[in-house]
Amino acid sequence: MRSLATAVSPAATLAALLLAALLLAGCAVPIVSESELESESGKQFQEMRAQMPASTDVRTRAYINCVSSAIVQQLEKPYVDEDWDVEVFESEDINAFAMPGGRIGVFTGLLAVAENQEQLAAVIGHEVAHVTQQHSLKRVNREMTTRAGVIAGTAVLGGGYGVGDVLSMGAQIGLSLPFSRANEVEADTVGLNYMAAAGFNPAESIQLWKNMGRKTKLGPPQFLSTHPSGDNRIQELIQQLPEALKIYNAAQAAGRRPACQK
């Protein structure tokens, strides 16, 4: 029987050493780049499309695309220039997400809670804000650094794994983790401004989370499994409203008045 030392290929050992060096430098240099994360999220998005039915309701798809387009037009560069891909999944789950690389997914079950275009805009604005604030990218690199020993060991023991394979593995791990409380608060604030700039009344975000709160009495919907809710969140949104309403009033004066039909 060969020893472990002779069983491991020099290439795998080199990959582990290179990865370890990257991990140790993680505080100064991103381990996973934005383009690498976009590539991995693209794969996951297509897998979802292959595994889940898309809505065939033309009116619902047009409605969600209308709201999404209005939000995207208010994003900063380079995100406003991306060709955003919006998919509507036929599912009773109350859920929505946005992914690096310009991808938005909305489950039709969300429309039972987001009762009008403003409330839907609050959700989409929030999710898109996670992308523009690079929360997934920061989370991936933080997680890669935290798991440095395990990940580097995997590169050695896996034999065939190279640095690219392990970075892809780290991106997969990072994309599946919930956002931090600080990320959620920032996404609420930034998303509120996006919806206001698009001409959606930001005050409707309060009613949205009240609707969400009523759902939790029957068991938390999937959307809330990684999103904090409750009175504290509503109070934080109320504190943000004066500034958001200024943005909304300016948008209205500029003629931005979305009329997305549900």
Contact yes or no for 254/198 (Cβ under 8 A): no
Q: Is 34 a catalytic residue?
A: no
Catalytic member of 36, 40, 118, 127: 127
CA distance from start to end of the chain: 67
Residue 9 CB neighbours (<10 A): 12
Residue 137 CB neighbours (<10 A): 20
Least Cα distance to 222 among 101, 97, 45 occurs for 97
Contact yes or no for 139/179 (Cβ under 8 A): yes
Residue 256 CB neighbours (<10 A): 17
Ramachandran region, residue 255 (left: φ > 0; alpha: ψ -120 to 50; beta: rest): left
Q: What residues act catalytically? A: 127
